Amino acid sequence: MIIVGCSNSKHLAKSIAKKLNFSYQDLNLDIAPDGELHVRFDDDLKDKSVVLVQSFYPHPNHSLMELLFAASTARDLGARKVILVAPYLAYLKEDKRVIKGECVSTRVVSELLSKNFDAVVTVEPHLHDSQLFTIPIYNVDISELLKDYIKKNFKDAVIIGADNESSKLVNRISFNSIILDKKRKDAFNVSLKGNYNLPEGKEVLIVDDIISTGSSMIEAIKFLKLKKVNCLAVHGVFIGGALRELEKYANKIITTNTISNESSEIDVSNLIAKKLLEIKL
Ligand code: R5P
């Protein structure tokens, strides 16, 4: 097996390869003056299982195109199997047509990935219907890792799930968490409703799968009038100045390194490496 680091995830890919003691190569990528991508592999891929590691942030569209070129080239060069490790997989939120005439982007992206890869490994995806993929899609469950982190760092904190979607993860981490009733108004605004009984003076940890604009976290902190609050998410997208803005409200912001940034304190490479060993390649 050979692990290939694509543009967003070279560091993570190297760490996975090291843990497995597998060979590693960078995917060479050039961008032509007109914006076209040019990808190239250095080493021989003939009869090898090739694992492309690429999170879909930043530049999700570019990341996808890079992967499609790389997967097709790997097959062309004789790879036995081509596996995608997408620690953060994008385009999973629009899996139904809500507005007349709109694209169901989850379906399009899952079709493209299914045609070009033999399997996908991802971490806590925002995926409601895995049937959209016609290839195996494996989730790396990081709830035990998060539990350990919380035990070490926020032992007595009250755990709050930022919304109903977060409950899938939060309920695996804690038995007595509080799940907020959130409604999204638009990409940058959410509203909350409900009465929540929070024990006074206790430290609070708000948990979500993704922090994107930061509005879900900030609105929760404002709505609950929280003081000693920390934020934990799997995927730290942090659009624009979202991290700086959230820092004005929270003591500590922690994410995993599915997307690498200054908050990505929790390393998922070990669990991804384990998953690659578990599945038959
Ligand atoms: C939505 O259902 C997700 O679970 C997250 O709550 C959402 O992606 C967070 O986005 P933002 O940081 O923009 O509020």
For 237, list phi and psi in degrees, rounded to 5. Answer: -75, -45
Query: pLDDT band at residue 175, thresholds of 50, 70 and 90?
Result: confident
**What does pLDDT average to over the chain?**
97
> Mean per-residue pLDDT for 154-183?
96
Report yes or no: 222 and 228 within 8 Å, Cβ to Cβ. no
**% of the chain with per-residue pLDDT over 90:** 96
Residue-wise pLDDT for 25-39, tens only, equals 999 999 999 999 999
> Mean per-residue pLDDT for 64-91?
98
**Residue 252 confidence (pLDDT):** 98
Instruction: Give the Å distance between the CA of 211 and the centre of ligand 1.
Output: 6
> Mean per-residue pLDDT for 15-25?
97
Candidate CATH numbers 3.40.50.2020, 1.10.10.2840, 1.10.10.10, 3.30.110.30; the one for domain 2-140: 3.40.50.2020
The candidate with the shortest Cα–Cα distance to 236, out of 202, 199, 210, is 210
Which residue's CA is the closest to the ligand 1 atom numbered 3? 210
**Residue 242 confidence (pLDDT):** 98
> Mean per-residue pLDDT for 52-78?
98
Residues in contact with ligand 1 (CB, 6 Å cut-off): 162-163, 165-166, 190, 208-216
Domain 143-266 has CATH 3.40.50.2020: yes
**Residue 37 confidence (pLDDT):** 98
Taking 80 as the threshold, does the pLDDT of residue 281 lie above it?
Answer: no
* Integer CA distances (angstroms), 92 to 60, 63, 171, 182, in order: 12, 15, 21, 19
Asked whether the bond before 58 is cis by omega within 30 degrees of 0, the reply is: yes
Exposed, middle or buried, 131 (CB in 10 Å: 0-12/13-18/19+)?
exposed
> Mean per-residue pLDDT for 67-85?
98
Same fold, 2-140 and 143-266: yes
> Mean per-residue pLDDT for 103-117?
98
Taking 90 as the threshold, does the pLDDT of residue 228 lie above it?
Answer: no
- 173, containing H or E segment: helix 167-173
Residue 277 CA neighbour count, 13 Å, CB half: 12
Instruction: Give the Å distance between the CA of 165 and the centre of ligand 1.
Output: 9
126 token code pair:
């925002």
Q: Is the pTM of this model over 0.85?
A: yes
Ligand 1 atom with the smallest distance to the CA of 187 is: 13
Instruction: Give the Å distance between the CA of 50 and the centre of ligand 1.
Output: 32
Domain boundaries, the chain: 2-140, 143-266
